[in-house]
Amino acid sequence: MASAELPNQIETVVIGGGQAGLSVGYHLAQRSVPFVILDAHDRVGDIWRERWDSLHLFTPARFDGLSGMPFPAPPFSFPAKNEMADYLERYAAHFGLPVCTGTKVTRLARIGELFSVTTTRGTVVARQVVVAMSSYQVPRLPDVARQLDPSIVQLHSLEYKSPAQLRDGPLLVVGAGNSGAEIAKENARGRQVWLSGRDTGHLPFKVDGPVGRRMMRVILRGFFHRVATIDTPIGRKLRPKVLAHGGPLIRVKPRELAALGVARVPRLSNVTGGMPVLEDGTRLEVGNVIWCTGFEPGFSWIALPIFDATGAPRHTAGISVEPGLYFVGLHFLYAFSSTMIHGVGRDAARIARAVAAQTGALVPPAVLTVPSGGSGASPTALH
């Protein structure tokens, strides 16, 4: 679909054109709220196309559709990343969502009662802003990465595409969550693979088996979606643990990894002689390291006093402490399911209702002045 035209002014700006942003756009459109979606990628769905080649979603297709449009695949199949990308592109086109692609937001600030959204294509003035981006924006690497021998191939999971990128020799995968387990499994044929990191636990059944087909609805729609929320004691207790350590392995089982020869080892501690050393003192001679060590939120472009001491935005279920600002897509925003495809729609609907309730409520000054260095919006009144 063609990129939408970037407006000078609009009621609501949605930042991010992945599943979170498109979900917000769908629900805003249902409420007739004027909006535009800004996305840094050249094409809707590219956030999925850029991941590693063999990536499949960790949840069955039955749970992978956004509001108003089921995912077009057998319900208990696991869509490939490009299938998900194409689905998002079709979704945006089907509902006529105004997505400005190739439009990276570089600064979000205030102009009196309104927001100034500076992008690589100009500046947009808006009453309300929804930051619809996941917590996975900027790759996080430990300090020891810089101490490894320069001959070692190092890739973050965001950079990893396929085993062809690796040199001969053993592989250490650091980070034992879903991404780390999948990447370790893919590389286990033909080389020694060590998987380092905390055991995150795993589902005790095959998600594509008879038991799994019955249980996935209970877990995804029941526990992850309705029980593990910020409104329940168990959800409030679970939330900090999930934010710190991630969730359980969904598809890969430890016994599968062991059968393939993947060795589970303790966490990485330091580096000696350019080689990684584990917490138990074991020194590994490796040719490759893939860092599945998570991401930073990447919100340095938000020039607003909304962050806590850890750098996380302060909000309640996506409603920011800054009036008129909202978040969708963050990990455990409201529930464990908030970053899952089936969970983001509920968060998007709730935030769209909040936006619609405030539409027109803010009274703008008669004339707005774009901050020095901004472009694309001349001084104007926003009616």
Mean pLDDT over residues 124-135, rounded?
92
In a domain, residue 365? The reply is: no
Give the CA distances from residue 181 to residues 203, 347, 375, in Å, rounded to whole numbers and listed in that order.
13, 28, 45
What token pair was written down for 117? 């959204």
Q: How confident is the model at residue 250 (pLDDT cuts 50, 70, 90)?
A: confident
The helix/strand/coil state of 365 is coil
Show the DSSP H helices in 202-336 as ranges: 210-216, 233-245, 254-259
Q: Which segments of the chain does DSSP mark as H helices, in order? A: 19-30, 46-49, 81-94, 178-187, 210-216, 233-245, 254-259, 341-358
| Residue 206 maps to a domain | yes
**Do 96 and 51 belong together in one domain?**
yes
* Amino acid in position 182: E
Give the pLDDT of residue 297. 78
Q: Which residues contact 99 (CB under 8 A, 6 or more apart)?
A: 1, 3, 4, 17, 21, 22, 25, 36, 37, 38, 39, 44, 92
At 321, which CATH number? 3.50.50.60
Using the predicted structure, report yes or no on whether residue 360 has a pLDDT greater than 70.
no
Kindly tell me the sign of the dihedral angle through the C-alpha atoms of 325, 330, 335, 338: positive
Range of the domain at 149: 139-291
- The answer to whether position 366 is within a domain reads no
How does pLDDT run across 160-215, given as a tens digit for each residue?
Answer: 999 999 999 999 999 999 999 999 999 998 899 999 998 888 888 877 778 877 88
Residues 15, 69, single domain; the answer is yes
- Residue 371 domain flag: no
With contact defined as beta carbons under 8 Å apart, do 368 and 382 qualify?
A: yes
Q: Rounded to an integer, what distance in angstroms lies between the CA atom of residue 142 and that of residue 175?
A: 11
Q: What is the DSSP string of 68-113?
A: TB--SS-TTS--BHHHHHHHHHHHHHHTT--EE-S--EEEEEEETT
Q: Does residue 285 share a domain with residue 166?
A: yes
Contact 349, 317 (CB under 8 A): no
Distance of CA 351 to the CA centre of its chain: 17
Q: Over the stretch 55-77, which tens digit does the pLDDT of each residue have?
A: 999 888 999 999 999 999 999 89
* Structural contact between residues 135 and 340, judged by C-beta atoms closer than 8 angstroms: no
Same-domain pairing of 127 and 146:
no
Return all residues near 309 (Cβ < 8 A) that are at least 6 apart: none
| Residue listed under structure tokens 């800054």 | 322
Say whether pLDDT at 150 is over 90.
yes
Assess contact for 20 and 318: CB atoms under 8 A: no
Residues 146 and 271 occupy one common structural domain: yes
More confident residue, 306 or 206: 306
Q: Are residues 149 and 284 in the same domain?
A: yes
Q: How much is the pLDDT for 81?
A: 96
Q: Which residues contact 340 (CB under 8 A, 6 or more apart)?
A: 59, 63, 220, 224
Q: How do strand 122-132 and strand 9-15 relate by DSSP bridges?
A: parallel
CB-based contact 322:109 (threshold 8 Å): no
Of residues 340 and 107, more confidently modeled:
107
Entry pTM: 0.88
Looking at the structure, do residues 216 and 352 belong to the same domain, yes or no? no
Give the chain's domain count: 2
Helix (H, G, I), strand (E, B) or coil at 351: helix
Q: How far apart are CA 334 and CA 59, in angstroms?
A: 19
Cα torsion at 360, 365, 369, 371 (round to 10°)? Answer: -70
244 and 160 inside one domain: yes
